[in-house]
């Protein structure tokens, strides 16, 4: 249940997201971010706020470890909407975390996938992908490269 211990602290975040989250042919936009993360419940919970200064918004993530199911639930909220998005759930295997959940984007149902990889003491990578066909094909639409401050 200590999988997200690495995230505690302050990170500079290089972001790239697609101009259209559902179109694999759309271009990429790059922008900075700063994340402040904390560890709770002896590693069984984590919280972070990420600010995107050039975008004018921020977001929060709450991560909770279900000890019975031995999996994480990740909840995202955006300052732009003021709402809590449906969770993605999953676990880490061999240093790579993969999480899935059902959501909507632009009014269309999607399966969301979050992947954490490349985790070291000073770096980490997060990426988001959406599938409109139940996970047969994916559009990676947001990538964050974390560097510890």
Residue 93's CATH number:
2.40.128.20
pLDDT for position 1 = 80
For 29-34, which contacts have Cβ atoms below 8 Å and span 24 or more sequence positions? 31/55, 33/144, 34/10, 34/149
Domain count along the chain: 1
The stretch 85-102 carries a mean pLDDT of 97
pLDDT for position 49 = 97
| pLDDT tens digits, one per residue of 9-30 | 999 999 999 999 999 999 999 9
Q: Which domain holds residue 87?
A: 5-19+28-148
Beta bridge partners of 125: 117, 145
| pLDDT tens digits, one per residue of 56-89 | 999 999 999 999 999 999 999 999 888 899 999 9
pTM for this model (two decimals): 0.94
How much of the chain, in percent, has pLDDT values that exceed 90? 97
Are 146 and 13 a contacting pair, CB within 8 Å? yes
């Amino acid at each position: 249940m200590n999988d997200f211990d690495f995230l505690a602290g302050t990170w500079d975040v290089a972001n790239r997201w697609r101009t259209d989250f559902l179109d694999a042919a759309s271009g990429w936009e790059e922008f900075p971010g700063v994340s402040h993360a904390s560890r709770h419940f002896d590693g069984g919970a984590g919280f972070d706020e990420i600010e995107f200064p050039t975008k004018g918004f921020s977001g929060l993530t709450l991560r909770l470890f279900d000890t019975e199911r031995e999996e994480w639930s990740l909840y995202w909220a955006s300052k732009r909407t003021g709402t809590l998005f449906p969770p993605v759930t999953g676990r880490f295997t061999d240093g790579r975390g993969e999480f899935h959940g059902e959501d909507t984007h632009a009014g269309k149902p999607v399966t969301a996938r979050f992947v954490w990889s490349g985790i070291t003491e000073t770096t980490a990578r997060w990426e988001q992908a959406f599938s409109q066909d139940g996970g047969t094909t994916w559009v990676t639409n947001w990538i964050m490269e974390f560097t510890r401050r």
